[in-house]
Structure 1
Amino acid sequence: MDKVALTGANGFLGWHVRAALHEQGTTFAAFSVGDAFDRESAIHAVDGATRLIHIAGVNRGTDDEVREGNVRFAQQVAETISGASKPPSTIVFANSIQSTNGSVYGAAKAAAATIVRKAAEVAGAEFEDVQLPNLFGEHGRPFYNAVTATFCHMLAQGDRPVVQQDNELTLLHAQDAADLLTGYATSEVAGSLEVRETVTGLLRRLEGMASLYAHGEIPDVSSRFDRDLFNTYRSHTFPRQAPVRLTRHADSRGSFFEIVRSHGGCGQSSFSTTAPGISRGDHYHRRKIERFTVLAGTATIALRRLFTDEVHEFHVTGAEPVAVDMPTMWAHNIINTGPGVLYTSFWSNEIFSPESPDTIAETVRK
């Protein structure tokens, strides 16, 4: 089995890379750089790996901290490569498109790339310099990672963001960046994955999504970008805005309630019956939007974010219908906790494809 060595594994992009590696069935070995750098443990992580992905960097701080931090990290990675008896055959650097703009950060990233490139050449490894634009994605840190995370966080809290400077952004979803860094996607398609949008346009899109989702409605996710942007926004609403309350209408004829209102894009609805005590699910999705709605019976829906231990549970019943939307990269399942048959509706934003199922096995409870 392939092994990937990784720096920055606990950061925003590192988390997304780990999720991508998990789907690919690739193990990873993380090692620290900076003050926590330990040469022996780093060499152990890198030795025998097929790929080394260097993500860790410094993008906040004084000019000296940014300059010296990025160079120091790269030097430690280079030292690790030279110390490995069997260095990786491919060494990847998560660079930035700012590396050529003359800024302190850009110059620091360019210098780091040169250091890692030279170490790769000495080791006889292929070097990939992946220059990434502005990244957005699930669980970004507001007021730190990117403006998208800040907007999503503020809108989810009911605040109204204000655009201070309206520039055009080149945006790339973090899962697409992860595919590029892991080699799952090639550099030839990198440009087709990027989207250009102004800061004002980005906020307008997110405001529209937030307005609809506040009522449990699914916005138009027909484009890849809008789907990824909506999944990013949803990550900032969970679990505070879950579950989605549905209005049940009942009279002498029976009852009626709406399950989903979708404003655009593909979709597929499914239905299942589940015997008492039986569980369904124990998987996650990287990009797919999925909604569970219990029609009759009693169930517990459980969710756990990848690489964490905390499990969120929702106890649901058909008598008081709600919809629970599965956040991307959260393992989830549903178990029949009642004495009778459980009737459940499942909706997703795409038609299931056996060739590309986007359904990755992962148990909710370890």
Structure 2
Amino acid sequence: MLRIAVTGAGGFLGWHVRVLACVLGWPEPLVLTRAELAEPAAVAAKVAGADAVLHLAGVNRGEPGAVAAGNVQLAAQLAQGLKQCAEPPRSIVFANSVQAGNGTPYGDAKAAAARLLADTGLPFDDVLLPNLYGEHGRPWYNSAVATFCRVLAEGGQPEVHVDRELSLVHVTDAAARLLGAPADGTWDPAMPALRVGVRELADRLAGIAAIYRVGELPSLVERHDVRLFNTYRSHCFPGHYPLALPRRADARGELVEAVRVHGGPGQTFCSVTHPAMSRGDHFHLAKVERFVVLRGSAEILLRRVGHDGVVRFAVSGDDPVLVDMPTMWAHKIVNTGTEPLVTLFWTNELFDPSRPDTWAEPVEAPMAVRA
């Protein structure tokens, strides 16, 4: 259990780092804001005695001069504060880039930032990160994956102007590397990469979107299949849900197709929940989970970890719909009726008690991680 301080905590990588720290059971990270970075004394006071400072803050887009100056300035401010610290942190971990020192304004600025942090004399871990993708990335900023997912979620088609090979790492794996978390099967600090061309990536995501548009599930055979799908779903939520299910009726009665999977493993189970009772109050990092109410009435509640707003869906067995739980959103289902609630659940993987990927987090109570 480590006490860490983080710059850039409100960004894409910062949010995933804080979620994983929560999963690991560590204290809530100390957040260094940009205003505090500009005050060396504030930095020194906040990071005193910390096990590690993770420097994630940076400037990725903009005019080349502003990008270069911004990255160097942020590192210089942090270094100045660290040098004034009476009880320095045990180490500095820098979210650097594989582009460091490549002759571009951005790459050279990242290399200069690394030198400034190394010059503090503290143990220094310079982590060269490739292209990161994952849930809730900013389109047209964080990655091509985020951009393509947003375009597809809005009903468009991605445009590829220049095709080249990308090396993509899921952001939770990068967070595990930065935090020094050992691999557990859900995350991997070795940062296994997906090597894919831009056009192939666009086509792959378009295929996922086409299948999922009608509630069917794409092939989820390997880890990047699952993570690309979860990334796409983060751009669909909550506006695409609940999604109506195909119904078939004849003289015998009715049939509802709750789950159609295009390859890959899975597990289906059913529950009965008594009136006023609930199930859930947890979140998943990678697991895909589907809820379908077959009998009774219920409310499904969801809250993104580290955020305040609660999304609510009223659902009923009289008109079955599906709601898929987005990863890193705490969720639960509450029986709002007077009769037993019958719910069908599907997950994309067999339940493994040694690696459940189920992390306790109340939907409607104070959060362990805040933005």
Q: Secondary structure at the match of 2:236?
A: coil
Q: Secondary structure at the match of 2:160?
A: coil
In structure 2, the partner of 1:239 is 238
In structure 2, the partner of 1:20 is 20
Superposition pairs of residues 82-231 of structure 1, within 5 angstroms: 82-119=83-120, 121=121, 125-185=122-182, 193-231=192-230
In structure 2, the partner of 1:262 is 261
| 8 A Cα contact 1:32 1:38, kept in partner | no
TM-score by length of 2: 0.93
Report deviation, 1:253: 3.1
Structure 1 CA distance, aligned partners of 2:357 and 2:80?
38
Q: Secondary structure at the match of 2:19?
A: helix
In structure 1, the partner of 2:295 is 296
Structure 1 CA distance, aligned partners of 2:277 and 2:357?
23
Bigger mean CA offset, 252-261 vs 331-340: 252-261
In structure 1, the partner of 2:328 is 329
Aligned residue pairs: how many?
A: 360
Report deviation, 1:157: 0.4
Report deviation, 1:91: 1.3
The root-mean-square deviation of aligned C-alpha atoms, in Å, is 1.6
In structure 1, the partner of 2:369 is none
| 8 A Cα contact 1:33 1:76, kept in partner | no
In structure 2, the partner of 1:307 is 306
Bigger mean CA offset, 61-70 vs 265-274: 61-70
Structure 2 CA distance, aligned partners of 1:311 and 1:141?
21
Structure 2 CA distance, aligned partners of 1:177 and 1:164?
28
Say if 2:32 is the partner of 1:31. yes
More helix by share: 1
1:198-219 CA distance string (max 9 Å, x none) = 0001001100000000010110
1:46-76 CA distance string (max 9 Å, x none) = 1121111000011222232122211111111
Report deviation, 1:190: 5.6
- The residue type equivalent to 2:10 in the other structure is N
In structure 2, the partner of 1:43 is 44
The structure-2 alpha-carbon separation of the partners of 1:126 and 1:36, relative to structure 1 and needing over 3 Å to count, comes to: closer
The structure-2 alpha-carbon separation of the partners of 1:190 and 1:307, relative to structure 1 and needing over 3 Å to count, comes to: closer
Q: Which runs of 4+ in 1 moved over 6 A?
A: none
What are structure 1's unaligned runs of at least 5 residues? Answer: none
| 8 A Cα contact 2:177 2:190, kept in partner | no
In structure 1, the partner of 2:352 is 353
